[in-house]
Every structure is written in structure tokens, then in C-alpha cells.
């Protein structure tokens, strides 16, 4: 009975708030005016959405191809050096338990660890980005590579505790990608809020954008040539339908969301959220090992983790002044 009650309480728990959110948007080379305009519109939409979530201006960075196009929002040119410097700055500025959302929008190319996104000057590879992101360990890290041919970024960037989203499932899908614009549209307009609770989880936003892309191709009577992927279990393999029955991905993306109540910057809350997220990751890892364990051993281990999660949730509620964690 204790197991059932704890499991039921966990199942209906609200998503984790975006504690101490930092947003880094990088829009790459358009190559032609229509693409440059599309990338700029997406970048501006993300910045405005973050402001609406209550993210302080000092935690929002947009690096763009053209710094004069939207001087009020753009913080610098989207070079490889500026991208890496911004990640270092966020690593120094933030603290354990913060949520860092890194969004790259543009044209991609390459294969495997040498996959690239086109920026002014030298193009960063997936391996370059992976090394730069290691400075953000201890944060809830979300990386969205909304670029053509971006699928090979996913296995390079994947780590336990990270959410990695790519616009395509491989580097072979090189046609113009619609995913980024639809994903931003869902966040900026709140259309992606499927359950209408005032918060948009990453799972909701991914599902919304994937369906919007499919509709766009259907409307144009074209064969779908991009298949977005999400990985949040750290195994380096993405899913096009995270959260669906049988999918191992989607559990963390369902808990991390934006909007709703003001973002907490209390370091006590941030530390507790980080500890709870680590425990939730352990639950997902344990569930994947279930078939290799004796039933009693599995249930005992699961109960111990769920009880600790319930304790962290209560501590977060107390530290937040009695509000929902």
C-alpha cells in the first residue's frame, strides 16, 4: 500500500519549475534573405517568450548573424568563439540546479561528431559543442539543435540528466527544416500548452512542433523529410514519439517546463530541485533494469527512491513558502 500511495503521488506531481533559467539562443547564417529573416523571427520569439516567463534580462543571450537587425534583443554576433564564451559565462553565473536552455537555429551539415551548424566564421562541430557544454554539468541542461541535418548532434551531446532535441534524425535529412519555427511558435503563443495548465513542458512543445511540421508537409502534399528526435534518458538514441507507450524517452522532458509561476532563484530551492532531478533519473535507470532484477529487490529499490523523492518534494514546497514545487 505504501508503494502504491507513493507511486501515485509521484505520478500526479507537477512538472519541475525552470529554476534559475538561463537562455542562450544562437541563430546562424541564413545564406539568403528569406532564411535570415526566418531565423531572426525565431530568435526574437524565444527572447520575448523568456521575458514573459519572468527570466531576468541578464540571463537571456541572443547571438545572431546580424547584430544590427534587432539591436534591442541581440547581444552579439553568433560566432563559434562567442557561443563558447557565452556558455562559459553561464557556467560561472549560474549554480547547481539551474535550468540552461541552449537553442541553435540555422543550417546544419556533416556527419557524426563532425556535424556542424553554419555560423559566421569557423563552424562549431558537434564535438566542439559537446566539450563546451561539459562546463554546465550539474545544471538541468536542454539543448535544441533546430537545424537541417542536425540528427547526428544527438548521440554526441547526450548525457544522463540532459534533454537533447534535434530537428532531424540524421545528417542525411538536409532539406530546409521547419521544426525550429514551429517549436518557437508553440512556446511563444502558448499553443503548445496541451493540458492548459499555464505551463509548457518540453514534451508538450516537442509534440506540438512535430505535429505542426507534419501538417505543413501534408498541406503542401509533400513527403516528410525531417523527423525530430528527443533524448532525455542519456542513452544517445532519440525518439520521435517520446512519452508514448514503450518509449524510454520523455520522462524528464515531461517534468521540465516554462511559464506559470515566477521562476525561483532561491539557491536552497535550486539545490533541492537538482537533488530531486537526480533521484528521478535514478528511477528511470532502475526501471530500465527491472527485467534483470528479482521482483522484491526491484520494488524495494523503487520504494526507497520514491520515498526520497517525496521528501525532496516536501522540502521544496517548504522552502518555496508552501507553494507547488
Domain positions in the chain are: 2-13+264-319, 22-259
pLDDT above 70 for 270: no
Q: How large a percentage of the chain has pLDDT more than 70?
A: 89
Contact (Cβ atoms closer than 8 angstroms) between residue 83 and residue 75: no
pTM of the model: 0.79
pLDDT above 80 for 72: yes
Longest dimension (CA), the chain: 63
Q: Which CATH number applies to 22-259: 3.30.2290.10, 1.10.1670.10, 3.40.50.300, 3.40.50.1460?
A: 3.40.50.1460
Per-residue pLDDT, 12: 36
Q: Where are the beta strands (DSSP E) in 5-47?
A: 22-27
Using CA of residue 254, residue 257, residue 260, residue 264, what is the dihedral sign?
positive
End-to-end, the C-alpha distance of the chain in Å comes to 24
Amino acid at each position: 500500500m505504501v508503494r502504491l500511495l507513493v507511486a501515485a503521488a509521484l505520478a500526479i506531481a507537477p512538472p519541475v519549475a525552470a529554476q534559475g533559467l538561463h537562455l542562450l539562443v544562437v541563430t546562424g547564417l541564413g545564406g539568403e534573405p528569406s532564411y535570415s529573416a526566418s531565423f531572426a523571427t525565431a530568435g526574437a520569439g524565444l527572447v520575448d517568450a523568456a521575458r514573459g516567463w519572468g527570466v531576468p534580462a541578464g540571463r537571456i543571450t541572443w547571438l545572431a548573424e546580424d547584430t544590427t537587425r534587432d539591436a534591442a534583443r541581440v547581444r552579439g554576433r553568433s560566432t563559434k568563439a562567442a557561443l563558447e564564451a557565452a556558455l562559459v559565462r553561464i557556467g560561472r553565473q549560474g549554480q547547481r540546479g539551474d535550468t540552461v536552455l541552449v537553442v541553435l537555429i540555422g543550417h546544419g551539415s556533416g556527419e557524426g561528431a563532425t556535424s556542424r551548424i553554419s555560423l559566421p566564421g569557423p563552424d562549431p562541430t558537434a564535438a566542439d559543442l559537446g566539450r563546451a557544454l561539459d562546463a554546465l554539468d550539474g545544471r538541468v541542461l536542454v539543448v535544441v539543435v533546430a537545424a537541417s541535418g542536425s540528427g547526428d548532434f544527438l548521440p554526441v551531446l547526450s548525457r544522463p540528466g540532459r534533454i537533447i532535441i534535434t530537428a532531424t534524425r540524421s545528417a542525411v535529412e538536409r532539406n530546409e527544416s521547419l521544426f525550429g519555427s514551429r517549436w518557437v511558435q508553440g512556446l511563444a503563443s502558448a499553443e503548445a500548452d496541451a493540458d492548459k495548465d499555464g505551463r509548457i513542458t518540453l514534451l508538450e512543445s516537442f509534440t506540438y512542433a512535430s505535429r505542426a511540421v507534419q501538417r505543413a508537409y501534408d498541406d503542401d502534399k509533400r513527403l516528410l523529410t525531417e523527423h525530430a528526435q528527443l533524448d532525455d534518458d542519456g542513452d544517445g538514441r532519440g525518439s520521435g514519439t517520446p512519452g508514448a507507450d514503450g518509449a524510454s524517452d520523455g520522462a524528464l522532458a515531461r517534468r521540465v517546463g516554462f511559464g506559470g509561476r515566477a521562476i525561483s532563484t532561491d539557491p536552497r530551492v535550486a539545490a533541492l530541485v537538482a537533488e530531486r532531478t537526480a533521484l528521478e533519473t535514478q528511477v528511470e535507470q532502475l526501471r530500465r533494469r527491472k527485467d534483470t532484477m528479482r521482483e522484491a529487490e526491484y520494488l524495494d529499490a523503487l520504494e526507497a527512491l520514491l520515498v526520497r523523492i517525496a521528501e525532496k518534494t516536501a522540502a521544496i514546497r517548504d522552502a518555496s513558502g508552501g507553494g507547488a514545487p
